[in-house]
Amino acid sequence: MLKNDFPIFKNNPGLIFLDNAASTQKPQYVIDGVSEFVANDYANIHRGLYSLSEKSEESYRHSKELVGELINCKASEIIYSYNSTYGINLIAQSLVISDVIKSWDVVLLWIREHHANILPWQILAERKGFKIEFFNINDEYEIDRNDFDKKYTDKVKVVSVAHVSNVTGKIYDVKKIHSKLRDDTFFLVDWSQSVPNFPVDVQDIGCDCLVFTWHKMMAYTGIWVIYLKKEWIKKLVPMIRWWGTIEDVDVSWHTLATNSDKFEAGTPNIIGAVSLGKAIEYIKSIGWMEKIREHEQKLVKMCLDGFSKIKDKVEILWSSTAGEPTTTDRVAVFSFFLANNTNFNNIGEKFAEQNIAVRCWGHCAYPLHKRFQKPWTCRMSGYLYNDEQDIERFFEILDKII
């Protein structure tokens, strides 16, 4: 029973945590691993010649090797950042100051994106004059092909999309999107809701840049991963510069590091990186990503069954694209509203009274909600420590709320 590995449940008896798409709980293994590191091995990294600094450096590097193993890339292609706003901004700004995006170019986004993949582009577009276009999602929640073909003009230099919707839980075929792109289009994929839930492979998707966050995968907050293809590490220059990013400095000039370090300005989140390494070790110990996916599929099946029984009273945003819902094209994320339009906050509060944590409102995807003219929703999302009883209790309370 994996729940026993997570002290939050012992310390909050009766808690049913279904807000995992926002952030996950931390296993004792990660908490202990971080405490031991801080108590025994912590110091700043890079260029410290004493043993503590070397140990700390080793833990930092080791966590990158583990990430490389998880997503199938080299540790040298991994950059650590702090959160999605910071990370996508870092890449977007680098693309602008490296002249990959010029003032007459277009960045193409999907209307269903998380705001983290909209705002950084908007801010830069306002200042630099390039244009942002959005391609549409059709009524089946699939890519609107005609609209994509119309918007994907020669001017498009960047396409940036999420692999899995944080609102509907739908998994998208980003490989197929990639196959439609010209070689000179920079393809960024937001993996925030896919890496935590199923095995992923950078080489298989074949994109230029992938970003994902680790607090959604049992590590601490403030550690975000950017995978950047080797050729782009060489080509792009970062906007933010500080020690770590440079090779040499004089009063009127500086030269940049040539490896991925050039994107990590200042003292990095060393403790966060260790928590991330510990989270991957924990995932290995429970049977790797395949086990997580297997468990998640059981949760998805239970949720689909549960929602189908009350479908005249509760609507979920997307359950299937054609015909019967299937478990394989989604993760355990469900956004729903009551047919009688009960306010989403009232529903969230009723769940909270029963010690059930769900999330309410627009889930940082307002354009998606507006596109479908749906009210704001409540979102429940499962993870590896949720069990059958959690899902049964969720539907029992939802039934009472109805």
Ligand X SMILES: Cc1ncc(COP(=O)(O)O)c(C=O)c1O
The residues binding ligand X (CB under 6 A) are 22, 83-85, 114, 116, 162, 166, 190, 192-193, 213
Rounded (10°) angle between helices 270-285 and 288-309: 80
20 closest CA partner among 381, 299, 393, 283: 381
Angle (nearest 5°) at CA 153 between 148 and 156? 95
On the 0-12 / 13-18 / 19+ scale of CB atoms within 10 A, 139 is: exposed
Smaller CB distance to ligand X: residue 42 or 212?
212
Nearer to ligand X, 168 or 319 (CB): 168
Smallest separation (angstroms) from ligand X to the CB of 190:
5
Return the number of the residue (276 or 397) whose C-beta is nearest ligand X: 276
Task: Give CA–CA dist 272/396, Å, rounded.
Answer: 38
Q: Whole-number minimum distance, CB 217 to ligand X, in Å?
A: 10
Instruction: Please identify, using beta-carbon distances, which residue of 94 and 192 lies nearer to ligand X.
Output: 192
**152, 143, 148, 90: which is closest to 116 by C-alpha?**
90
Q: Is the Cβ of residue 202 or residue 338 nearer to ligand X in the bound state?
A: 202
- Give the residue among 383, 391, 385 at the shortest CA–CA distance from 303: 391
DSSP state of 170: B
State the catalytic residue, choosing from 207, 303, 364, 378: 364
Angle at 87 between CA 58 and CA 152, to 5 degrees: 130
CA distances (Å), 125 to each of 87, 113, 128, 239, 266, in order? Answer: 17, 17, 5, 16, 27
DSSP codes, 207-240: -SEEEEESGGGTS-SS-EEEEE-HHHHHH---SS
Smallest distance, ligand X to C-beta of residue 152, A: 22
* 364 part of the active site: yes
Which alpha helices (H) appear in 41-83, and where do they start and end? Answer: 51-71
Residue among 54 and 142 whose Cβ is closer to ligand X? 142
Ramachandran area for residue 206 (φ above 0: left; ψ -120 to 50: alpha; else beta): left
Structure-token match 């498009």, residue found = 156
Active site residues: 364
